[in-house]
Amino acid sequence: MKKANKSVIIWLLSGCVLVFIMVIVGGITRLTNSGLSMTDWHLVTDTFPPMSEAAWQHAFAEYQKFPEYQKINIHNHFTLSDYKFIYFWEWFHRLIGRVIGMVFIIPFAYFWYKKQFDKSTLQKCFVLLGMGALQGFFGWFMVKSGLVDNPDVSHFRLSLHLTFAFLTFAYTLWVALDLVYPERKLPVSELRKIARWALVALIFQIIYGGFVAGLNAGLMHNHWPLMSDGQLIHDSVWIEQKSVLLNLTEGKSGVQFVHRTFAYIVAGLIIWLLVKSRKFGLDAQQQKGIYAMNVMVVIQFALGVFTLLNYVPISLGLLHQVGAFILLSFTVYTLHRLSK
């Protein structure tokens, strides 16, 4: 490892950790229905929460003008104390976003000034800068959808925001791995192909995880392996919406069906990668990556089942999201070790 790159690597990995924390806090924000508590966005004044009782009353009064309060919380004896709770999680989520921006931009400018980037790494860092800005836009785009008529955000926009956070993390990790391992062995093309398919399948599964979260689809069909007593595929999967496509993208039953069924495909690809790897003389890093993927996919599958059976408690829902993040990390690492 070049001395000039060590600080850059630490910086990139720190970014990975912060994105991970932000996604976890985002998960808590979603699971506690806190995402629509801040009805406006200001770069400077929102850095701190309301600092006086009058400021809290004003913020609460603004919140009461929007659909979530008028259509749902007004009937739940929702108090200022309740509002402070949901406000905290959305504020904290946005605060971490600001911290990530500063942690990226300030060291990036310093490293660029000190010429610690080679041309390839500099280009990748510009991509990361663009991805960070786009992620902030997606967050605003998502929240906006819940402040008009619908007292909830669009599940499409929520999934876009969630999935892009995962992709930003994955790309940041990949750039860091390029610096950690500047020289690599010849790629194992057959295994690399399977690992790529596993990554694509996992991203698709994350997209549908966002759909499930956005539609609260985990609160129905709380059986496994059948969707209900005596039915592998519940009848509502095909009749909830007007077409097959709408059923599988907007229907709660259809979205849950896709997510729970595709878990088998993700697990199957990762197990297939392990079986195929026995034919090759892999180095220790490649073997450890494949083994880690297989252990984690079993844990993640089990977490998904227990989360469903227990009607998505916050603790299990959060652990399931953490599991997806860890599985993505192992998959990116393994693919990197199998690539050129």
- 304/298 Cα distance (integer angstroms): 10
pLDDT of residue 157: 93
pLDDT of residue 74: 85
Q: Are 189 and 174 part of one and the same domain?
A: no
pLDDT of residue 1: 46
Q: CA 116, 120, 121, 124: dihedral to nearest 10 degrees?
A: 150
Q: Are 134 and 243 part of one and the same domain?
A: no
For residue 37, the 8-state DSSP code is S
Q: Are 234 and 331 part of one and the same domain?
A: yes
- 247/244 Cα distance (integer angstroms): 5
Are 265 and 306 spatial neighbours (Cβ–Cβ below 8 Å)? no
Quote the number of domains for the chain.
Answer: 2
- 170/332 Cα distance (integer angstroms): 7
* Mean pLDDT in order along the chain per 10 residues (340 residues): 74 94 91 84 72 91 88 86 92 90 92 90 93 88 81 89 94 94 77 96 97 93 90 92 94 96 97 95 92 97 96 93 96 92
pLDDT of residue 70: 87
Q: Are 282 and 172 part of one and the same domain?
A: no
Question: Which residues are CB-contacts of 39 (< 8 A; sequence separation ≥ 6)?
Answer: 62, 63, 65, 66, 147
Q: Are 40 and 105 part of one and the same domain?
A: yes
pLDDT of residue 185: 66
* Token digits of residue 25: 């806090």
Per-residue pLDDT tens over the stretch 317-336: 999 999 999 999 999 999 99
pLDDT of residue 42: 67
| CA nearest to 289, candidates 241, 331, 236, 322 | 331
Give the number of other CB atoms < 10 A from CB of residue 191.
Answer: 24
- 195/83 Cα distance (integer angstroms): 45
Q: Are 84 and 104 part of one and the same domain?
A: yes
Which of 138, 154, 183 is the C-terminal boundary of a domain? 183
Cα-to-chain-centroid distance, residue 48: 25
Q: What is the pTM of this model?
A: 0.91
pLDDT of residue 43: 58
Q: Are 75 and 58 part of one and the same domain?
A: yes
Q: Are 13 and 87 part of one and the same domain?
A: yes
Would you put residue 226 in left (φ > 0), alpha (ψ -120 to 50) or beta? beta
- 121/104 Cα distance (integer angstroms): 14
Q: Are 179 and 210 part of one and the same domain?
A: no
Let me know how long the chain is.
Answer: 340
DSSP helix/strand/coil, 231: strand
pLDDT of residue 45: 62
Q: Name the residue type at position 36.
A: L
Which of 162, 183, 204 is the C-terminal boundary of a domain? 183
Which of 183, 202, 220 is the C-terminal boundary of a domain? 183
Per-residue pLDDT tens over the stretch 75-123: 888 899 999 999 999 999 989 989 999 999 999 999 999 888 889 999 9
Domain that holds residue 325: 185-340
Instruction: With both helix axes pointing from N to C terminus, report the angle between 80-113 and 119-144 in degrees, rounded to the nearest 10.
Output: 160
Q: Are 205 and 165 part of one and the same domain?
A: no
Q: Are 197 and 125 part of one and the same domain?
A: no
Q: Are 128 and 18 part of one and the same domain?
A: yes
Q: For 43, how many CA atoms within 13 A lie in the half-sphere containing its CB?
A: 4
